[in-house]
Chains A and B, each alone.
Chain A
Amino acid sequence: MNPSPPVIDVTGLTKVFGHKTVVDHLDMQVGRGEIYGFLGPNGSGKTTFIRMLCGLLRPDDGQGTCLGFDVRTQAELIKPHVGYMSQKFSLYDDMTVRENLDFISRMYGVANRSAAIDRTIGRMNLGRFRDQLAGTLSGGWKQRLALSACMIHEPQLLLLDEPTAGVDPMARRDFWDEVHKLAGEGITALISTHYMDEAERCHRLAYIAYGHLLATGTVAQVVAAEGLVTYEIAGPQLYGLIDRLRGLPGVEQVVAFGITLHVSGREADVLAHSLAPYAAPPLTLRQIPSNLEEVFISLMRKAVT
């Protein structure tokens, strides 16, 4: 059997606001059932890119399809099958949880509306808040409501823009369990996030900075591609050491990590040479695998310089 065509397949997607190119010729292919992480510093164009995929913004250049429909001309056909959760809560504050869900499900023409709403409310544990105004919900519950709203019409593609920002770890875990369950049913998800642990729960990810795609692939591929070498230094009075280490040749990042320091650089030999003096007691030095955060920071630094 042929692999099913990609759910998102765009090339050269570009958006210009005024004189500023916010998304600069971005390509992306996401397959069915995939959970695709979308990372990058604030203002790098994630939201803008997601909005172009679902017809909320018109691309200035580039083409491609989303769910098989042209992103430039067939937004009307894409919209019914997409569940989009905006970065900022955009349901009606002055309507109750139930009223909001009812409005959204009418907009999508959901069959058996009442049952669908009850099911969603039940699954998301929103029962207690059913008749509470959405504006009075706390952050985490608002996220849950927004997530319910974007799934009530059983979309094939979820576009979630920082869905877990400001949500407690427990709720985040529930959320990710839910996403994985949906992926198992063949639903595709593109999720932007700033959390590294969430990035690691994605099948694949893309890292963008200032509108440019800097890395794509599985977590392991992204880490390997950057070729970053990281050492861990442990011992007493490490804080005094940070500034001194930062000036050394080959050292690109020094990060305090609990009671240790992580020192990374791309030139393995130079770095090893610079750090050799810090292997003596009371300090200990050992090489460790680079983590995603170090890789992303390294990517971002490169993008700036």
Chain B
Amino acid sequence: MARIVTFSLIRFAAMVSKEFTQMRRDRVTFGMMVGIPLLQLILFGYAINSDPKNLPTAILDNDRSVFSRDMAMAMQNSSYFKFTQAIGTEAEADELLRLGRIQFVVTFPVNFGRDLARGDRPVVLLEADATDPSATSNAVSAIRQAATDAFTRDLTGPLIALRPANGPVELRLHARYNPEAVTQYNIVPGLMGVVLTMTLVIITSLAITRERERGTMENLLITPVRPVEVLLGKMLPYIVVGYIQMGLIIIAAMTLFKVPVIGSLPLLFLVSFPFIAANLGVGITFSTIAQNQLQAVQMSFFFFLPSILLSGFMFPFQGMPEWAQWIGSVLPLTHYLRVVRGIVLKGNTFVDIAPHMWPIGLFLFASLGLGIKRYRQTLD
């Protein structure tokens, strides 16, 4: 078959420079691309409250008495906590928190039961991953309630005198990563992923649809240009746009909201590449399916809504029902949020975030592959 499969850098470069020229002329769209991030930043600057349930919790029980088990049971019954693992050391607790596997670690001290029986009010330590304050805000009251529930039952009869007025145990909350529980600390880095998802998907979903609608597709298809050159040529300029948006949000996060950036910014920019490209892949795919620009925008919203609702941006991911977590796990935003929050708020290194990178990469190849497969070289 005399089919030449080639990639021409000249044609690719021509596509890229054409897209840049048109982008430059389209002031409104360009303004939106810069304006939307800032607008959203201000809108979402307000806390989004929620009432999460079954947050994964690890238990470090140094006492192993009937009392510590009773209290753990009461905590579980509150349906706020869900014990996912029992651990033996403080180091293990640190590791699990840092990787975001669990939301809380509850530690019962040695002699918890003895102290309780003596009325010495033993200290129960609750360490929380406070990057998302909405997940931890109710933890203290939930655990206090659990302690009261557990021991008012146990401390009856002759032990009734042991019911201290201020509760049987002393609770100590140790909020990690975002000790002041500033909601913005969590929202603002997350917003970066949300803004990139929204603007990049919409804009690229219009890329080919617009050519079709304006009739310029006919002129493009008659040239020897190949699908890959068209698609990549249309994506590249928006990768640049994506990085500009990232830069804006990071500057705003640091200046307006004083979000402390603990991890490495170069690392963040580097690992954002597959995420940006994955979103462009989605947009490009929509663009090959949509019949007109309105449909393209509708499809983008269809993708954007689950992304914003089920990714862990709006509600703590661990607190969502299982089916929602399944859907969420497919979306690149879910993984990217963990990457961004991990780097910015926890100082995660590449090794720490690597587990979140491959789902994004997989999504990128799937969406891009679909887009290339769907791209028609004819008008019918």
B225 and A76: CB pair below 8 A?
Answer: no
A61 contacts which chain B residues (CB < 8 A)?
none
C-alpha gap A109/B229 in the complex (Å): 14
Chain B nearest CB: distance from A194 CB in Å?
20
Chain A nearest CB: distance from B378 CB in Å?
5
Q: Does B218 contact A (CB under 8 A)?
A: yes
Q: Does A8 contact B (CB under 8 A)?
A: no
Q: Does B221 contact A (CB under 8 A)?
A: yes
A17 contacts which chain B residues (CB < 8 A)?
380
B8 contacts which chain A residues (CB < 8 A)?
109
Q: Does A92 contact B (CB under 8 A)?
A: yes
A84 and B18: CB pair below 8 A?
Answer: no
Chain B nearest CB: distance from A37 CB in Å?
21
A106 and B222: CB pair below 8 A?
Answer: no
Q: Does A58 contact B (CB under 8 A)?
A: yes
Q: Does B26 contact A (CB under 8 A)?
A: yes
Q: Does B4 contact A (CB under 8 A)?
A: yes
A94 and B11: CB pair below 8 A?
Answer: no
C-alpha gap A69/B10 in the complex (Å): 25
Q: Does B21 contact A (CB under 8 A)?
A: yes
A106 and B10: CB pair below 8 A?
Answer: yes
B26 contacts which chain A residues (CB < 8 A)?
94
Chain A nearest CB: distance from B116 CB in Å?
75
Chain A nearest CB: distance from B246 CB in Å?
27
Whether A58 contacts B22 in the complex (CB less than 8 A), given A74-B2, A79-B222, comes out as no
Q: Does A56 contact B (CB under 8 A)?
A: yes
Residue in chain B with minimal CB distance to A81: B224
C-alpha gap A140/B14 in the complex (Å): 27
Whether A88 contacts B22 in the complex (CB less than 8 A), given A51-B379, A106-B11, A106-B14, comes out as no
Residue in chain A with minimal CB distance to B1: A73
Q: Does B219 contact A (CB under 8 A)?
A: yes
Q: Does B3 contact A (CB under 8 A)?
A: yes
C-alpha gap A92/B217 in the complex (Å): 10
Chain A nearest CB: distance from B237 CB in Å?
14
Q: Does A305 contact B (CB under 8 A)?
A: no
B222 and A82: CB pair below 8 A?
Answer: yes
C-alpha gap A89/B215 in the complex (Å): 8
A103 and B18: CB pair below 8 A?
Answer: yes
Residue in chain A with minimal CB distance to B8: A109
Chain A nearest CB: distance from B23 CB in Å?
10
Q: Does A55 contact B (CB under 8 A)?
A: yes
Count B interface residues, CB 8 Å: 30
Residues facing B in A44-69 (CB within 8 A) are 51, 54-58, 69
Chain A nearest CB: distance from B209 CB in Å?
15
Chain B nearest CB: distance from A31 CB in Å?
23
Q: Does B377 contact A (CB under 8 A)?
A: yes
A77 contacts which chain B residues (CB < 8 A)?
2, 4
B13 contacts which chain A residues (CB < 8 A)?
106
A56 and B21: CB pair below 8 A?
Answer: no
A56 contacts which chain B residues (CB < 8 A)?
218, 221-222, 378-379
B300-314 near A? 1/0 per residue, CB < 8 Å: 000000000000000
Residues facing A in B7-36 (CB within 8 A) are 8, 10-11, 13-14, 17-18, 21-22, 25-26
C-alpha gap A79/B3 in the complex (Å): 12
Chain A nearest CB: distance from B374 CB in Å?
16
Chain B nearest CB: distance from A8 CB in Å?
16
Whether A99 contacts B21 in the complex (CB less than 8 A), given A56-B222, A80-B224, A94-B26, comes out as yes
A selection of 20 A-B contacts at a CB cut-off of 8 Å is A51-B379, A56-B218, A56-B379, A73-B2, A76-B4, A86-B215, A86-B222, A90-B216, A90-B218, A91-B216, A91-B219, A93-B214, A94-B22, A94-B26, A95-B18, A95-B25, A104-B219, A104-B223, A108-B223, A133-B25
B residues contacting A by CB (< 8 A) are 1-4, 8, 10-11, 13-14, 17-18, 21-22, 25-26, 214-219, 221-225, 377-380
- Beyond A74-B2, A90-B217, 15 additional pairs, beta carbon < 8 A: A51-B379, A73-B1, A75-B377, A77-B2, A77-B4, A79-B223, A86-B219, A91-B219, A92-B18, A92-B216, A102-B14, A106-B14, A107-B223, A108-B223, A109-B11
